[in-house]
Amino acid sequence: MQNYSPVLCLGEALIDIIHRDGQVSEHVGGSPLNVAAGMAALGHQVQLASWWGKDQRGQAIEQFAQAADVKLVTGSDGAPHTATADATIDEQGRASYEFNLEWKVPPLPEPTSLSHLHTGSFAATLAPGAEGVLAAVKKMAITGTVSYDPNVRPALMGSPDAVLARIEEIVALSDVVKASDEDIAWLYGEQTPVEDVVRRWLALGPGLVIATRGPWGAYAKLAGDRDALVIDPLNVEVGDTVGAGDSFMAGLLSGLLDAGLVGSPQAKQNLRRAHWENVRTALHRAVVTSGLTVSRIGAYAPNQEEVTRVITANPTLA
């Protein structure tokens, strides 16, 4: 594990109100918070900038972040109330959401104090905070690296036409982009091949674009390699898929940081010249972390010891 300036995760932290099998429970959630917790569990310094209230649910978020060793950016508790997401889990373990929230960006650390910025989900498209997210991405793209997961939420985003231009603007500023096949289908239509969208986004400027495809693994392309790569998933019994994409992103970023492919202007150039042998370890780490997450109930963040145990049992994942 190399030493870096902290990674900043920018976006929502909220309370998931889970409806499953007639039962209701509340859990701390939010895609950027899940990525932050996942990276911290893997040994990285991580900060979270978000927007919650000084209420009981906000205290739950702060306690969760403290337990996960995620440092909170001052001012993140400025919301009038803490956001909630009502999540209904279906028979396949998939979640659908309804939201009660507002989104603003608190004052952020200077980009020069950070190595990498990760953002995504509705934080990048929901006014008024979306403008602050875009400004942060533009600044960080100069001094470090940026990753982005659109993680679409139709209940908040409205229609693809309302958000696609902003999503592609951030894709063009990012170094690493990851999206699910469901996100891509919503944005571009069910009949649009995932591979076409991956190529479209790569042409906008990132060094690495990945489309995750649930039980069919993931499809990836690098700017510096003409061939695409299909990544098989970890074979596990699924508890649910809550947090799976966030865990994939946490493992991926952890591996790319350790490989010197994100985290600095030089890393930005390294990633754009990289070939598959340079990123394979990071991709495998993403597969392992997401596989461990879906084997549990909820957005579980596996630690480095658990990841090492899986790789030791299956050296092809090294």
* Rg over CA atoms, the chain: 18
List Cβ neighbours of 305 (8 Å cut-off, separation of 6 or more): none
**How many Cβ atoms are within 10 Å of 196's Cβ, its own excluded?**
11
- The amino acid at 287: V
> Of the given ranges (44-58, 233-247, 248-262), which has the lowest mean pLDDT?
233-247
Which range (101-105, 153-157, 232-236) has the least confidence? 232-236
Map 180-214 to HEC letters. EHHHHHHHHCCCCCHHHHHHHHHHHCCCEEEEECH
**What residue ranges define each of the domains in the chain, with the CATH number in brackets?**
7-317 (3.40.1190.20)
Render pLDDT for 97-146 as a digit per residue (tens, 0 to 9).
788 899 999 999 999 999 999 999 999 999 999 999 999 999 999 999 99
Which pLDDT tens digit goes with each residue over 67-105?
999 999 999 999 999 999 887 777 766 767 788 899 999
One-letter amino acid identity for 127?
A: A
CB atoms within 10 A of CB 274: 22
Question: What contacts 210, CB < 8 A, 6 or more positions away?
Answer: 176, 177, 178, 179, 198, 218, 219, 220, 231, 252
Query: Strand (E) positions, the chain?
Result: 7-10, 14-20, 23-29, 46-49, 71-72, 84-89, 95-100, 116-120, 145-149, 176-180, 208-212, 218-222, 229-231
Among 169, 174, 172, 199, smallest CA distance to 184 is for 199
Taking the C-alpha atoms of residue 205 and residue 190, their distance in angstroms, rounded to an integer, is: 24
- Cα–Cα nearest to 236, from 317, 165, 162, 180: 317
Residues 39-53 pLDDT 10s: 999 999 999 999 999
Q: Are 301 and 250 in contact (CB under 8 A)?
A: yes
Is residue 148 classed as helix, strand or coil in its secondary structure?
Answer: strand
- What per-residue confidence (pLDDT) applies to 287? 86
pLDDT at 191 over 80: yes
